[in-house]
A and B are shown apart, each in its own frame.
Chain A
Amino acid sequence: MKLFLRKALWGCLVLVFLAAVVPLVVKVRRTTEPTMISLPSSSEATPFPSPLPSPVVNPTNLEVESDLKMIETDLTKTKEDQRLRPPEFIFDLRLKQD
């Protein structure tokens, strides 16, 4: 009886060991499989270094551009304010013509 129990215990331990180790081995094997080398698509192409340096724009030039845009915005807001046209009222009962 004792022998049987000892064998059963060993059997359980082996099963537990296999259940823990087998998935790990499978995972390691999968990651070590050679993968496809992905080529960069046309949009991901590495840019060639430009032989000419990009032109440096004077900061005053940029400032003037920004200010001129603001003036343009101001010019679009110069529509006539119709609210300042006085309202119409009746001031004559026109009793003489009645």
Chain B
Amino acid sequence: MKRNLLFLFFFLLAFLNLPSVVFGQNSNEYYQNFVQNYHHYQELVEPFNAQKSRYQAYQSVVTLADFLESVKSLTAAEIDSLISYTAFIKSLLAEATQILNYRENYLYVKLDDQLAYLNSAKDKVQTLSSLTEAQSFLKELENHYQVISQASYEIKSIIEIGSAEKILANVKVEREKINNLLNEESTVSAQINAARERFVQQDKEIATVEGLISQGKQIQQQFSENQKASSLAAKIRQTVDNAYIKLAKIVAEYKNIIYSLRL
């Protein structure tokens, strides 16, 4: 009896932990991890600035040594933050691409390369022996940061365009259902005719939304052309927002049409 109870206890324990073991952390957990690391990094900025001021004022061996140590601490915290941020955007991409059937594989490879570099860079920080060496190391780190930053904006745009496309597809499904309802309507009345007219008008709006989404996709192509990622992402967001405004109007019109069919 006792053995059975013990078995049941361990079985339940294993069952409850199964999702975290099989599926790993989710994007929110990764983000919380990043927030903690970034908070630690921010806490080190003030001591870094204080040591820098002391070094600038005294230019002594002691202040130089202290400043170099604070540079190393800050850089290590910077790398930890970047690692957790990269893990976060990779997990977000994984969650989003489950819907997109893993179309964006090149981004996974890119992010994996960056994670490999950052993990090796973490060890290198402790071997920095001069400010000149630290400066060139930071320059190298910045180049990798730019790659991660660009991937982040690209993922943001992929998710935004993907969700707009998904909503548009759902609206089109409802369009077909309403079309069937209108075709089934045998009574001829001014109200039914008006409903049909409004329905046809919405097709033009759907075409506009399709145009906006394809415009967003065209801008998305420019990410590979080394354009400024933040401005491209802003343009895509604007396009997607315009599509959402149109979609909200279409949905309101469709609701109006189906209510009128009940009268």
Binding site for B on A (CB under 8 A): 55, 57-58, 60-61, 63-65, 67-68, 70-72, 74-75, 78, 80-81, 83-87, 89-93, 95, 98
Contact = CB atoms under 8 A, between A and B. Distances in A.
Contacts of B178: 64
Interface of B: 31, 34, 38, 41, 45, 48, 52, 56, 71, 74, 78, 81-82, 85, 88-89, 92, 131-132, 134-135, 138-139, 141-142, 145, 148-149, 152-153, 155-156, 159-160, 163-164, 166-167, 170-171, 173-174, 177-178, 180-181, 184, 237, 240, 244, 247-248, 251, 254-255, 258-259, 261-263
Given A61-B181, A75-B251, A87 B81 contact: yes
B47 to A, nearest CB: 13
Contact of A71 (B81, B153, B170): B170
Given A68-B255, A68-B258, A72-B248, 13 more contacts: A58-B184, A60-B177, A61-B262, A64-B181, A64-B258, A65-B255, A65-B259, A67-B170, A72-B251, A84-B89, A84-B153, A84-B156, A90-B138
B254 A64 contact: yes
A89 B131 CA distance: 18
A70 B88 CA distance: 28
Nearest to B173: A67
